[in-house]
Amino acid sequence: MSLKPLVLTGLFTVILSGMLPGNPQEMAAVAQIQTSIQSSSINLNVSELNQPLWLDITALNGANLQGEVKLNGQVIKILQGSHNQVNLSNYLSRGNYEITVKGNYYPSRGSVMIELKGNETQITQQTSGNGSLNQQLNMQVR
């Protein structure tokens, strides 16, 4: 038996095993991309909650969005399509809050803009380029 077929078989085995899904190096790279968070912080006076405090999530450049808005870990809005809106005044009082907006938009060349608009407040965050949305707003209402 020739040594050449054995060497080729071994070489193909190494090449193919590197192409299989589940390679630990590939999984680590994906996990790092998904944990990227854009974060902002804001302080509000409780009197601002007497008027609507709108959280607008808009997919731009022809993108569509799927995801959710969570307030302190509880889902308050399911995101679908290109424009979503929720009035945060209905959920807030004095205290500390973490608002997260997570999801995916497609095509990934699109972008997503998140705006917090109130009587005395306006904050804008935008993400683009990878199809993944992971925004966080830390809010203190006094």
Instruction: Write out the DSSP string of 128-142.
Output: ESSSEEEEEEEEEE-
Length of the chain counted residue by residue: 142
For range 113-134, the mean pLDDT: 91
CA 136 to CA 31: how far, in whole Å? Answer: 18
Instruction: Answer yes or no: is pLDDT of 128 > 90.
Output: no
Whether the per-residue pLDDT at 12 is higher than 80: the answer is no
Local confidence band at 35 (pLDDT 50, 70, 90 cut-offs): low
The continuous run of DSSP H or E covering 45 comes out as none
- The model's pTM is 0.73
**Average pLDDT estimate for 71-81:** 98
Task: Answer yes or no: is pLDDT of 50 > 50.
Answer: yes
Q: Are 112 and 126 in contact (CB under 8 A)?
A: yes
Per-residue confidence band for 108, with pLDDT thresholds at 50, 70 and 90 = confident
Domain ranges of the chain: 1-35, 38-141
Q: What is the pLDDT of residue 10?
A: 45
